[in-house]
């Protein structure tokens, strides 16, 4: 059983731990928890993790957000991972910071990274975990907001949710998307 776990974000020091890079942070936490290490691979930072008889190819695309699909398609084909075993983790301004949403398919919701993945796979039918980052920004300043760092008071909740998201990856691989959705989508996270 092989899975492709994709964290969406932007490569580069200026983007580290920004809201838009939460996908990178979640995948990094998963790899760290399971004793893996990232190395530079084609179009992405790549780590292989083995857990409970399953292989997880974990990638953080280095293509920048708008071209993330190129990395997803390349690693999916290279590792022969079926589309149902892909999990894309991304930020979502439409969800409050207290929520996460797991879906087996869906629209890109205006997210450029998901739009790129959809275009590369020529399908909307791939699982995704949306990590709510809230939308506490003035009109017209969404780009500045998503590329900003977390506020000090948000950090404990973000850390908690990153750990929960790691558990979602594990649940996705062991229980499947449908059962995992029930737990995740009904939960409200708080400190």
**Polymer length of the chain:** 191
Active site residues: 20
Could you tell me the two tokens for 128? 């995704």
Rg, C-alpha atoms of the chain: 15
Q: Are 3 and 57 in contact (CB under 8 A)?
A: yes
3-state helix, strand and coil shares in percent for the chain, rounded to the nearest 5? 45, 25, 35
Residue 53 buriedness (CB in 10 A; 0-12 / 13-18 / 19+): exposed
- For residue 182, give every residue at least 6 positions away whose Cβ sits within 8 Å of its Cβ, in sequence order, or none: none
CA–CA separation, 157 and 191 (whole Å): 6
Rounded CA separation 7/72 (Å):
10
């Amino acid at each position: 059983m092989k899975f492709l776990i994709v964290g969406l974000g932007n490569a580069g020091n200026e983007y580290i731990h920004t809201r838009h890079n939460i996908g990178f942070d979640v995948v990094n936490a998963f790899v760290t928890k399971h004793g893996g290490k990232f190395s530079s691979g084609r179009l992405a930072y790549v780590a292989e993790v083995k857990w409970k008889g399953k292989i997880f190819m974990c990638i953080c695309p280095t293509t920048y957000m708008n071209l993330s699909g190129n990395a997803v398609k390349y690693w999916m084909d290279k590792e022969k991972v079926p589309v149902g075993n892909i999990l894309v983790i991304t930020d979502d301004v439409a969800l409050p910071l207290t929520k996460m949403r797991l879906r087996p398919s869906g629209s890109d919701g205006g997210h450029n990274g998901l739009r790129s993945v959809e275009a590369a796979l020529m399908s909307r039918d791939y699982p995704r975990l949306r990590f709510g980052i809230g939308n506490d920004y003035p009109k017209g300043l969404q780009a500045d907001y998503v590329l900003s760092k977390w506020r000090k008071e948000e950090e404990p909740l973000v850390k908690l949710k990153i750990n929960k998201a790691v558990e979602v990856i594990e649940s996705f691989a062991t229980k499947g998307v449908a059962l995992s959705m029930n737990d995740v989508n009904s939960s409200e996270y708080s400190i």
